[in-house]
Chains A and B, each alone.
Chain A
Amino acid sequence: MESTQATNHVSYLQHKPHKIGILNWILSTDHKRIGLLYLYSIMVFFIVAAFLGLLMRIEKFAPGETIMDAQTYNGVFTVHGIIMIFIIVIPGLAAVFGNFFLPILIGAKDVAFPKLNLFSWYIYIAGAILALISQFASGGAPDTGWTFYVPYSADSSTNVIWALTAAFILGFSSILTGLNFIVTIHRLRAPGMSWFRMPLFPWSIYATSWIQVLATPIVGITLLMVIAERTLNIGFFDPALGGDPILFQHLFWIYSHPAVYIMILPAMGVVTEIFPTFSQKPIFGYSAIALSSVAIAAVGYFVWGHHMFTTGISYWSRWFFSFLTFIVAVPSAIKVFNWISTMYGGSIDLKPPLLWAIGFIFLFMIGGLTGLVLGALATNVHVHDTTFVVAHFHYIIFGGMGFAFFAGLHYWFPKMFGKMYNIKLANISFIITFIGFNVLYFPLFIIGLQGMPRRYFDYFPEYQYGHVISTIGAFILIIGIFIMLFNFFRGARKGEIAPANPWKGVTLDWQIESPPTLLNFDEIPVITEKPYTFKKEEEA
């Protein structure tokens, strides 16, 4: 079947209307090519930011100055945070897999506004370049942390304005992409695909997009206000000018807490696609998973105060935000139980995508449950702003979102490139990455509980054992990631030709050619049944 299709059709990668190679990328409005543009940009920035993270770990190998001075260290953790958060994980899964697979999964030829889609990528690149300039321009790398807390960010003489402008511009990219996806899901679903016949990855993108559209403007305005404060001396936040420093934190977290869900919801969506395929069994609790995404997006707006339990906000708001934080934990737990029940009783093929997805569940559980420690008032007071928090959000963002991203790459790689990576090498890279990850971040829980604060250039000798183990973990992790990237590059260049449906998936992405043709479908499919319906007996 595959061979006849290949002779009759031209894949999106072979479709080259322009003579100059690069123009086929930077002028293409094809959602698949734009997805890859995001993938490559994110990969480059990820390597840069991961390297900065490694430098931080090397610096912390011993107390005092090891390889850099305090000012440099503060710049490095700030730029590591800005790149990782604003350039990698916020666009992350939604921009790469959302662009590539959302239209395919709902049976559409492209997103609703293809030109706007390409424009979003240009805005993204402009913001990303500004962020890089902020690191190297003459005033010195911004040293405020990615959170830009005022008054320090109003006082610091480093390139804070560059970094603020970068984050402001990146926000537009996020808003426009969200808007595009919402319209796409509303208007372009294939005939017969009612809301509850839609696969669950589009559901998670839908919930994410609403957060992007509704929450991002708040941070945009807030960052503009800091710029106005610095350039025009308007006292919004700086008490020296009559402003309120806590107001900044409220505005910042009203966006930045929902932003955590912008990161994690698409990740949940990706693993939700993986479990049924590798168990050959419908997803367990379809509506529970779909609605819990929406519940997380909705309740997630009202928990920002848990970042501020020690700032002096009122007694009542402290317990109120703590209470809601616990409520928002429940939908995530529901998802975990449903994923595991999907595997139970299935026909399980432990291929790399499933391995990464199971790794995701394990790390996400640790990240989520330690989040409860941070949600409870008494324990939050002790561990707030310690390395416990650093470990917690790396388990969620890297262990959760990052591992789901890698799971998705291993899952859809044959579809995206029409080639296959080496399965054995993929398993090896997973094991090394998984071990390195835990060795790197788990000790930070322990020393955080002992009282090791975050963003500390220097530390007392009693914390050194934890930092040493953690630094060793960083090296293991980086080796694992490089093996994985090497495997992908080799696979894309000279891997075996992948069949159209290597994992026996039943969603629409596996019903078309690998790689897909320019318009994905010859004929728009008509949907007649629920998603994840596996037909009996297709013995090879």
Chain B
Amino acid sequence: MFSGASNFVEGVDTAFAFIFGVSAFFIIAITAFMIYTVIRFKRSKVKNPKQFRGSVTLELIWTIIPTILVLMMFYYGYMGFAPMRNVPDDVMEVEAIGRMWEWEFVYENGKSSKDLVIPVNRPVKLNLKAEDVNHSLFIPAFRVKEDVVPGYDNYMWFTPYYIGDYEILCTEYCGMLHSAMTADAKVLDSAEFEQWYADLSQQKEEEKPEGFEITKSNGCFACHSRDGSKLVGPSFKGLYGSENVVITDGEERTITADEDYLKTSIINPNQDVVKGYNPGLMQSYEGVISDEDIDKIVEYLKTEK
């Protein structure tokens, strides 16, 4: 009944079963007793109720028994949890990066993936890194969750027991597309994993201009796509030199997205908002990104055709 997709399922689900079992008993028993009392002691049946005010014995009983029960719940919760902090020595370490609004998993050999690909029956430790705001990595089937907090070296580990695909969700609210920040945990058999792991052909991306890295590290791609699709803001694809209708102080006008326009849009994003997009969603990067870096971003944007 309690075997599941990871090594923690048994301990966690035992705690669930115990707590739900005790709770269900009390909810049913107390509700039944209340209904009985209301019917049995209706005003039409009882004219002169006894005027007792309490009982020390009863108070002791219903203090001590619940205390024992909740301490047992604490114990089961603790036993299910303790191994989650006790990482074995032979784990495979993977860096899990959370940024608005995507996950990236980086392996020891430098391989990077949007999905967490792992071999079955081998313990995996995820080192959690946040690049912008708080996130939280949650894999329901494995019963694991840990927040991904900027500046903190949080981690989680688990051993997947079955081959298959499992959902990875972000469970710490992180802004507009929080609910789209999902990925898959793909559990493969060892041979298949080794093959995937050794294949680095996808990784050799063409040389990127410096401005690309600056753009990426500031999280710009979360709102501005590189493939022409409309996100929160206009896509970077083909942006440089294009003609756009913008709204300035409530007036529509047509501009060409030249260097000046792009710089203004980074420093003062709400001044000329492209028609069809909402103002107020982008903050000014004045003082956040240096002028020098802004120039590099603009140089990079010229290459997005």
Interface residues of A (CB under 8 A from B): 70-71, 74, 138-140, 143-145, 149, 151-152, 155-158, 239-240, 244-246, 279-288, 310-312, 315, 318-319, 322-323, 326-327, 329-330, 333-334, 336-338, 340-341, 343-350, 358, 361-362, 365-366, 369-370, 372-373, 375-382, 384-386, 449-451, 453-460, 530, 532-534, 536-537, 539
Contact = CB atoms under 8 A, between A and B. Distances in A.
A85 B132 CA distance: 28
A488 to B, nearest CB: 25
Given A337-B62, A365-B30, A369-B27, A149 B134 contact: yes
Listed residue (B46, B132, B171, B278) with the most chain A CB atoms within 10 angstroms of its CB: B171
B175 A143 contact: yes
A334 B173 CA distance: 36
Contact of A282 (B19, B27, B51, B140): B51
Max chain A Cβ within 10 angstroms of own Cβ: one of B58, B133, B278 = B133
Contact of A334 (B55, B63, B146): B63
B70 interface: yes
The 9 nearest A-B residue pairs measured at CB: A376-B77, A378-B80, A451-B140, A377-B81, A369-B23, A239-B151, A456-B179, A312-B154, A385-B171
B76 interface: yes
Given A377-B81, A379-B15, A379-B77, A460 B167 contact: yes
Contact of A340 (B30, B85, B138): B30
A239 B143 contact: no
B173 A455 contact: yes
A149 B283 CA distance: 18
Nearest to A458: B179
B42 interface: yes
18 contacts: A140-B281, A149-B172, A151-B132, A281-B51, A282-B51, A310-B136, A322-B74, A327-B70, A330-B67, A330-B70, A348-B46, A373-B19, A378-B11, A378-B76, A379-B16, A379-B80, A381-B143, A458-B180
Given A346-B41, A379-B16, A381-B12, A326 B74 contact: yes
A151 B150 contact: yes
Interface in B60-104: 62-63, 66-67, 70-71, 73-74, 76-81, 84-85
Contacts of B172: 149, 385
B51 A140 contact: no
A378 B12 contact: yes
B175 A377 contact: no
B103 to A, nearest CB: 14
Interface of B: 8, 11-12, 15-16, 19-20, 22-23, 26-27, 30-31, 33-34, 37-38, 41-43, 46-55, 58-59, 62-63, 66-67, 70-71, 73-74, 76-81, 84-85, 132-134, 136, 138, 140-141, 143-147, 149-154, 167, 169-180, 232, 278, 280-283
Contact of B176 (A74, A379, A456): A74
Contacts of A70: 176-177, 179-180
Contacts of B180: 70, 458
Contacts of A344: 37, 41
A108 B300 CA distance: 75
A381 B78 contact: no
B145 A382 contact: yes
Given A70-B177, A378-B81, A532-B53, 17 more contacts: A285-B58, A310-B136, A319-B81, A344-B37, A347-B46, A348-B43, A361-B30, A365-B27, A365-B31, A375-B73, A376-B15, A381-B146, A450-B140, A453-B179, A454-B173, A458-B180, A539-B47
A370 B27 CA distance: 11
A365 B29 CA distance: 11
A340 to B, nearest CB: 6
Nearest to A280: B49
Chief secondary structure at chain B's binding surface: mixed
B146 A310 contact: yes
Contacts of B177: 70
Nearest to B24: A369
A375 B173 CA distance: 21
A372 B30 CA distance: 17
A322 B12 contact: no
A453 B73 CA distance: 24
A71 B78 contact: no
Nearest to A361: B34
Contacts of B80: 376-379
A207 to B, nearest CB: 18
Contacts of B76: 376, 378
A157 B282 contact: yes
A151 B133 contact: yes
Contacts of B33: 340
Contacts of B15: 376, 378-379
A336 B30 contact: yes
Contact of A451 (B38, B41, B63, B169): B169
Contacts of B48: 347, 536-537
Contact of B134 (A151, A280, A285, A329): A151
A295 B22 CA distance: 24
B74 A376 contact: yes
B77 A245 contact: no
A134 to B, nearest CB: 13
Nearest to B23: A369
A282 B173 contact: no
